[in-house]
Structure 1
Amino acid sequence: MNDALYKLEKSDSDIDELLRIHKNLVYHMLSVTGQLQNQDAESAAWEALWDSLNTFDVFSKNAFSSYACRCIYNAIQQVIREQGKIPIEIMLEDEFVQYDETIAEEASVNRVETYFKQYVSTKRGTIRDVLLTWYSSSFEMSQKALSARCRCSISYVSRVQQGFRAYLSGKLKEG
């Protein structure tokens, strides 16, 4: 592992070296989401990698690549939403599940809302604030905006979101 990742004050040359080392994360996530030919998505992915290099919590138990992949994935999905394209696949717990278009959207939205209310009722403090703020934006608010609004780190927001996604995935698999 390159020690530049753990510097609090990274120089431009450190950032350039880290971008070069971790460029495969960008192309991996573009490939996984089927956006290799989408230049806007590639640009957003590179920006997300740069942001993740600068916002990574070095004291986190998560690996940098896990954090960066989540940031890159979210950036790519934001571009897809802005372009009005419907993603073919959705990610739950690092598994890609084919989206079944025959499921009534309204019923699935109600299930997610029900599971969200159950989950958030067990949370307190900053975790609850992050979840409720995210929910109030229809799960559209970026991690950066959430962290600014709730006064916490982006990596903390990511962990809170991942906790809910894991819970939701388990509930959806139960049936």
Structure 2
Amino acid sequence: MGRDRTRRSYLVMVVLFLLWFVQLIQLSLERDTLNPGHELTGNQFLESPNTLFPLKFFNLEYSGSSNLYLGIQNLVLRNGDSTRITINSGSPARSSNTSVTLLDTGNLVLKEGEDIVWQSFDHPTDTFLPGMKLGLLDVRQKLQPRNHFLTSWLSPEFPALGEFTLELDPNNTYQLVIRRKHNLYWRSGKWNG
């Protein structure tokens, strides 16, 4: 009788270990998606399937600041409370079918089912990646048009919004303009091709 109890205890421990191990393997295989109930903390990261774009917390050690930032390589979202970023905190997910995925393009996409709720390419920072768009978007739709433009960092040590922006001229879509503190600094001239 004692042996049966020992065998059952041993069997329960083996089954629990296998369940834990399978879950660990599953989490390591799905490094591009964050699902409800999971967190991204410390030195954990998401990585696009092609491994070109890691999404992770970092700090600028050489700046002497203890602030943490969440970045996709050079695409940076500032972490306001220095400890945790909650995407879509104003309207929590309405279903358990919500996920965050880092694509091969570097685009961080928040989906509810198959619908895109938010994506980082709609909020460019200082780096332009293939697939991003500049200019007034959603003009023909019933949505409020949004002007997509690039903004410099304040300094290499401090990724706050800087003084310079690069955008398509809203008055003439055939040229690029650089503004410094909203004043015209440079224009490309019209292009014809």
TM-score higher than 0.5: no
Higher helix share: 1
Q: Which has the higher contact order (CA 8 A, sep 6+)?
A: 1
Higher strand share: 2
Larger Rg: 1 or 2?
2
